[in-house]
Amino acid sequence: WVSGHGDAVQQDPNHSPLSVPLAVPYLDKPPTPLHFYRDWVCPSRPCIIRNALQHWPALQKWSLPYFRATVGSTEVSVAVTPDGYADAVRGDRFVMPAERRVPLSFVLDVLEGRAQHPGVLYVQKQCSNLPTELPQLLPDLESHVPWASEALGKMPDAVNFWLGEAAAVTSCRHKRSGEVAPCSEKSLSLRPFIAELSRVCGVDLWKGHSLKSWGVWGAAPWHLMCSQVPWIPLDPLAPDLARYPSYSQAQALRCTVRAGEMLYLPALWFHHVQQSQGCIAVNFWYDMEYDLKYSYFQLLDSLTKASGLD
C-alpha cells in the first residue's frame, strides 16, 4: 500500500502500489475472528494458515487405502477430460468436462495404476459434494471453519471434496465467494480482481465464448449449445503474448499449499491451480458480501464495456 502524511508518500516494501502483497503471508496459528476479519477479509488479502487442522482425524486417516475401505463402493461424480483442463477455453469455445458417475474405487484404481483410462479423472463437483456424495467422511473433519464462520457471520454455502491426479488443472477463474481450503499439496497463481487484471491485462482476457461439452469423451463430437460463457482464455502456464502482450507485465502471487495447511482466498480473486502429484483437498465456500469491493468490481466491468475494450 501507499501511505501519505502531508507531502511525504512512502511505499510499503512488502506491497505493490495497489495494496497487493508481494507474497502470500503465512500465519503460524489460526487467527481470532476479529483478526481474521480485520487483517484479511476487509483488505481482501489471501493468507496461508498453519496448525489449524491438527484436531481433524482426516489429517491422519485420509489416504487412498482409507478411502477404498471406507467409501470405495460409493458412486461419485467425476469430471473426465483428455488433458486435465475441466471448464476451460479451447480456441473460441468454452469446453466443459464429461461427467460420469463411477464408484470411487475406480478412481482410486486409476490413481494407483491398477486400471487405465484414456482421459484424466478429477473428483471436483462443486455443489457441496462432500456431504451429499461422501457423507461417510464427515466425521473426519469439522463441518465449517469456526473462526471464519464467526468472523463472516455465516456458515459455508458449500463444502467440496477434491481428488485428482497431477494432470488435473483448474483454469484461470474467479469466484464470487470467499474460500478456505485445507489440502494435501496444490500450487496456485493468484491475482486480485483490480490490481493486475484491470491495470495490465485489461478486459481482453474476459471474453464471451460459445459453450461446448466433451459429451461422451473420445467417442462423440462436441455438442454446441447456443449460449455465451464469460471466461478467461489465457493460460498462465503458456500465455499467448502475441494476443495478450500486456500480460508480460502481470505479476502473479504464487504459493504452494501443503498437507495440513489452509489457504484463505478472498472473493473475486482470480486463481489458477495445479498440482505436482495426486491431491486430496477440501474447500469451504462462504458467500461474499456485496459491499464496496463488489461495487468496485462492477464499476470496473461497466467501464470496460463502455470503453469498447471487451
**pLDDT, tens digit, 9 for 90 and up, residues 2-17:** 223 333 334 445 555 4
pLDDT of res. 258: 86
- What is the per-residue pLDDT for 134? 97
Class of domain 26-307: mainly beta
Task: Identify the burial level of 294 via C-beta atoms within 10 angstroms of its C-beta, where 0-12 means exposed, 13-18 middle and 19 or more buried.
Answer: middle
Q: How many other β-carbons are positioned within 10 Å of the β-carbon of residue 263?
A: 23
> 0.85 cut: is pTM over it?
no
Within 92-204, where are the H helices?
104-111, 129-133, 146-152
Q: What is the pLDDT of residue 292?
A: 79
Residues of the chain with pLDDT under 70: 1-21, 169-185, 188, 190-230, 276, 308-310
Burial class (CB in 10 A: 0-12, 13-18, 19+), 152: buried
